[in-house]
Amino acid sequence: MYVPEEGGFAGDANTLVDGKEGFRNGSSSKGLLNSKNQGLKVSLQQLNYNQSKLALDRSINQTVELLYELVTENSVRPIFYPASAEDSNNVLLNSRKAHLALVRQNISINSKSLSKAKIDPEALKEDDDEDVPEFKILKLNLKVGNNSQNTDIVSSLDKQSIARLLEQRLNQQVKYLLNLKDRVDDTSSKVFVTGDLNAGKSTFCNALLRRKILPEDQQPCTSVFCEIIDAKKENASIEEVHAIRIGQEYNIRDETTYEIHPLKNLEDLVYECDTYSLLKVYVLDNRTFQESLLRNGVIDIKLIDAPGLNMDLYQTTQVFSRQEEIDLVVFVVNAENHFTLSAREFIAAAAAEKRYVFIVVNRFDNIRDKNKCINKIMEQVKDLSPDSHKDAKEFVHFVSSADVLDGSPGGGDGPDDGPDDNSDNNRNPRDPNFDQLEASLRKFVLEKRAISKLLPAKSYIINLLNDLKVLSTVNEKIYAQEKQDKLDELKGKVAPKYDEIMYKSAAISDSITKLVERTCSEVYDLAKNDILTTLSNFGDHQVVRYQGLQNLYEYAKQTQKVMIDTILSSVQNSESSAKTLTSQRVDEIIKFGQNTLGEEFLNDKVFNSDLMFTRRRDTIKKKLDDLIDFTDFFDPSFDSMMLWLGIPKDYISGTRQQLNYYNPATLLTSIPKNTMALKEQIPTQLTLHTLYSSTKLLTTGALIRKLYSLSHLLKPQVLKQIIGPILLGVGGFTVYYLINDIPNAFPRKQARKIKSQIYEMDYAHVNADRISKECRQVLNYPSRQVMNNFQTSIDKRNVEKERLEKEIKDAEISHNYFLGLLDKINNQREFVNEIDLENVNTVD
Ligand SMILES: Nc1nc2c(ncn2[C@@H]2O[C@H](COP(=O)(O)OP(=O)(O)OP(=O)(O)O)[C@@H](O)[C@H]2O)c(=O)[nH]1
């Protein structure tokens, strides 16, 4: 403990003075032994300190790696951030309550995605209710400084915007950690004196220096940061001010980077916040190492007098942003005003890394009811900085800084009032509280250096890792849940729907194909039969009326035309029945689609059967040889002659059969050898008609035979005489028969001619094929329409399926990533927690 009256530390002389053991020199041998032991102890502590420093450096590097990893992950798959919708004024200290609210209440409210992921806040609560971590560092409340008008807008942002904010925050942390590393490695300590406007910060700094260096004023004055540095060590013992312009990078060896002013100019310079960003105030403190805080012989201490917190937003932001560069915060609060909102916010922000904040309750002399003031302040400190409250004797001080210099002879206005004078004279012996404060400050900065210098870094890393743990836990749970939800959705809804539509599509495609095939072959058969039947009916009868030999050519032409037209009309008939059938089938196909796809089926095309078969049917007329030949009019035949003779048609056909049966050749080859054989050859049961026919034929046969035998009897002379008239008779009969047969012969012959040409052309097949092909073409449209609709539906479901599958994959990747990250974070936390600083009280 530093005892100002003694000018040294009582009982714990473990502070080095410029590398040597300090301020008590025992002359006895016991003292020498003690001194050796002490040296050993200090060396050991130094070793521990260095090890802790290295460990912290390492963990900073690893935490930076984790942050980079998170930033990358966040850019690929936005990280869920449980934004707080609570009034951020109430969560200044990132209280447990605030965190619970954050995790339990807002998780499903604020993020659309979170609510989509259907996170059960209760599920999160169950986990470690007692040990619910808090967002101390990664809190995104977008509040700047003490602007109470600023509302928390994070809760109203979408996932992407929050992800971007988070990315910024993570990148800031990287920067912060790198600064922290510099601070850990830096052998000097920066003591940051801040507090509300007019709280007496400058007066307090002056009191520490025992000199009126910084201007004190009842009006707000310090608006530029003043860094008070030991001139002896850093500026060749020259007392002066280096005023650094805004935006300028300070380099003590480059005079162009600053302006040099005498100390007395500080009165004016501190107001020039529009010109200068920092005033480096080099002062000499010629007091003893034991008395001087700046020149303590142990480490370089820089005292920073900051502008009042509630001066303006810019200054306040500046003060807040200095956090990352400073090792120790001395917060000066006006005993008359207690903690303002800005003060609370500043201490809350500092708590992210600094477990201990020196709280100087200044202007205590003005307080009448001192106990009441103490109680009230302590109550507030308990909330604001619990660790400082726990060790209040060391960290909370009620003082009157103005009295320190006021009571000193000469007012402490120059460096020479230093060590050579009696330093006790520079203090007001009536303010032991200030002595206590000074001693605690020295002890904390110089002796408990591991705590004052390294602990903030450790606390910061731990807090950051805790935040990362919260973030990872929340994300791990969300992604696990999201993966499960999406899997359920895929398996329960999307995949079955997809399979169903695929199955239906295949089935419908099959049905449609079969229907089209059936229709086409039906149409083909119908058309072919129709044409062939029409053809087969030709030739049996006259198709136009015969109007005598004088109109023979017209008769022939018309017969020919009617025959061709009949064929064409049969083709037409086939086409129109094909149209009707196709139309029905188109409706059937469309119904397939409508019945299966319902509203999804888009029937934007109207089928118009009138448009079918509008092309020229065929070129039959052109192809047929329509030249009428003389022979076309004659077609002598047994049948026609019989018909001409007036024998009924059915009788003629029966007779022809008999003729075939009994024709001479047949008869000759089948003459029975004997009567028995003949008897066998005669049918046992003969119809009357047959018998009748046979009798007639036999009569005719006998007649011919008679004629034949008669011809043997006829002598050539006789023949010569009768042949002429016979031939004339037969010729006349034939001519007469032929002329009379013309009306039947022509259609018969023409029919044969047309038939043979048509068969040659394969006309029936060609037309039936053409008609069925057109039907197929027409049916292909609705078929394609239905199948396209199916494809659209399949595509839609496939897109949905693929989207889900991708989301599941992403959720799985994220889930695994956060599981892995949690592992790394936990390892890192363990590692940092194991850095034991409390037991390392050493100096560089
Ligand atoms: N009674 C009393 N007055 C004090 C004490 N400390 C400072 N003052 C007075 O309070 C006023 C403000 O002091 P400063 O030191 O200028 O306060 P500050 O916090 O530095 O002010 P800004 O830099 O402008 O924010 C001055 O008039 C001081 O004399 C104290 O302990 N007791």
**Which tens digits make up the pLDDT trace of 740-785?**
878 888 888 888 888 888 888 888 898 899 999 999 989 998 899 8
Give yes or no for residue 840 CB within 6 A of ligand 1: no
| pTM recorded for the entire structure | 0.61
| Mean pLDDT of the 799-806 span | 91
Q: Which two tokens stand for residue 199?
A: 């709280």
CB-based contacts of 271, cutoff 8 Å, min separation 6: 221, 223, 224
Query: Do the domain assignments include residue 554?
Result: yes
Query: Do the domain assignments include residue 119?
Result: no
The protein residue with its alpha carbon nearest to ligand 1, atom 27, reads: 218
Most confident of 84-98, 353-367, 665-679: 353-367
Which is more confident, 81 or 154?
81
pLDDT in tens, 466-480: 899 988 988 888 889
Residue 562 has pLDDT above 50, yes or no: yes
Question: Is residue 435 domain-shared with residue 531, that is, in the same domain?
Answer: no
Q: Give distance in angstroms: CA of 398 to centre of ligand 1.
A: 14
Check residue 816 and give its pLDDT. 92
Angle, CA of 395, 400 and 406, to the nearest 5°: 135
Most confident of 466-480, 596-610, 706-720: 466-480
CATH of the domain at 215: 3.40.50.300
Tally the domains of the chain: 3
Q: Of 772, 789, 806, which closes a domain?
A: 789
Residues of 189-222 as b/e, b for ≥16 C-beta within 10 angstroms?
bbbbbbbbbbbbbbbbbbbbbbbbbbbbeeeebb
Q: 298 falls in which pLDDT band (50, 70, 90)?
A: confident
Which is more confident, 491 or 140?
491
Question: Is residue 534 domain-shared with residue 413, that is, in the same domain?
Answer: no
| Mean pLDDT of the 168-192 span | 87
Give yes or no for residue 407 CB within 6 A of ligand 1: no
Lowest mean pLDDT segment, chosen from 566-570, 686-690, 732-736 = 686-690
Which is more confident, 150 or 189?
189
Check residue 672 and give its pLDDT. 47
Q: 604 falls in which pLDDT band (50, 70, 90)?
A: confident
Between CA 807 and CA 487 the distance in angstroms is 9
Question: Is residue 411 domain-shared with residue 524, that is, in the same domain?
Answer: no
Give yes or no for residue 145 CB within 6 A of ligand 1: no
Q: Which two tokens stand for residue 532?
A: 């062939």
Give yes or no for residue 263 CB within 6 A of ligand 1: no
The protein residue with its alpha carbon nearest to ligand 1, atom 21, reads: 198
Check residue 616 and give its pLDDT. 63
Check residue 142 and give its pLDDT. 55
Q: Virtual CA dihedral for 518, 521, 522, 523, nearest 10 degrees?
A: 120
Question: Is residue 600 domain-shared with residue 741, that is, in the same domain?
Answer: yes
Phi and psi of 126, rounded to 5°? -55, -35
Q: 141 falls in which pLDDT band (50, 70, 90)?
A: low
Question: Is residue 299 domain-shared with residue 425, that is, in the same domain?
Answer: yes
Give yes or no for residue 570 CB within 6 A of ligand 1: no
Question: Is residue 564 domain-shared with residue 422, that is, in the same domain?
Answer: no
Q: Of 769, 789, 809, which closes a domain?
A: 789
Q: 630 falls in which pLDDT band (50, 70, 90)?
A: confident
Residue 259 has pLDDT above 90, yes or no: yes
Domain containing 414 equals: 188-233+285-447
Q: 539 falls in which pLDDT band (50, 70, 90)?
A: confident
Q: Of 427, 447, 467, which closes a domain?
A: 447
CB-based contacts of 544, cutoff 8 Å, min separation 6: 555, 558, 559, 562
Residue 690 has pLDDT above 80, yes or no: no
- Asked if 388 contacts 360 with a C-beta cutoff of 8 angstroms, the reply is no
- Amino acid letter, residue 550: Q
Phi and psi of 331, rounded to 5°? -100, 115
Q: 832 falls in which pLDDT band (50, 70, 90)?
A: very high
Residue 99 has pLDDT above 80, yes or no: no
Q: Which atom of ligand 1 is nearest to the CA of 400?
A: 31
Residue 398 has pLDDT above 90, yes or no: yes
Residue 273 has pLDDT above 60, yes or no: yes
Q: Of 307, 235, 228, which is closest to residue 274 (Cα–Cα)? A: 307
Residue 90 has pLDDT above 80, yes or no: no
Query: Do the domain assignments include residue 592?
Result: yes
pLDDT in tens, 1-19: 333 333 333 333 333 333 3
Q: Give distance in angstroms: CA of 215 to centre of ligand 1.
A: 9
> Which segments of 363-472 are extended strands (E)?
396-398
| Mean pLDDT of the 433-462 span | 85
Question: Is residue 524 domain-shared with residue 656, that is, in the same domain?
Answer: yes
The protein residue with its alpha carbon nearest to ligand 1, atom 16, reads: 216
Residue 366 has pLDDT above 70, yes or no: yes
Give yes or no for residue 196 CB within 6 A of ligand 1: no
> Which segments of 327-483 are extended strands (E)?
328-334, 358-362, 396-398
Query: Do the domain assignments include residue 161?
Result: no
Between CA 533 and CA 531 the distance in angstroms is 5
Check residue 702 and give its pLDDT. 54
Query: Do the domain assignments include residue 842?
Result: no
Residue 540 has pLDDT above 70, yes or no: yes
Check residue 447 and give its pLDDT. 77
Give yes or no for residue 469 CB within 6 A of ligand 1: no
| Mean pLDDT of the 628-655 span | 73
Check residue 59 and give its pLDDT. 93
Question: Is residue 678 domain-shared with residue 779, that is, in the same domain?
Answer: yes
Which is more confident, 508 or 424?
508
Can you list the alpha helix ranges (DSSP code H) found in 186-293?
201-209, 231-234, 266-269
Mean pLDDT value across the chain: 76
Most confident of 94-103, 117-126, 175-184, 302-311: 175-184
Residue 241 has pLDDT above 90, yes or no: yes
| Mean pLDDT of the 633-658 span | 71
Q: 407 falls in which pLDDT band (50, 70, 90)?
A: low
Residue 57 has pLDDT above 90, yes or no: yes
Q: Which atom of ligand 1 is nearest to the CA of 203?
A: 15
Question: Is residue 403 domain-shared with residue 523, that is, in the same domain?
Answer: no
Query: Do the domain assignments include residue 339?
Result: yes
Classify 241 in phi/psi space as left (phi over 0), alpha (psi -120 to 50) or beta. beta
Give yes or no for residue 801 CB within 6 A of ligand 1: no
DSSP summary character for residue 153: -
Q: Give distance in angstroms: CA of 204 to centre of ligand 1.
A: 8
Residue 417 has pLDDT above 60, yes or no: no
Question: Is residue 305 domain-shared with residue 384, that is, in the same domain?
Answer: yes
Question: Is residue 524 domain-shared with residue 414, that is, in the same domain?
Answer: no
Check residue 705 and give its pLDDT. 61
Question: Is residue 647 domain-shared with residue 539, that is, in the same domain?
Answer: yes
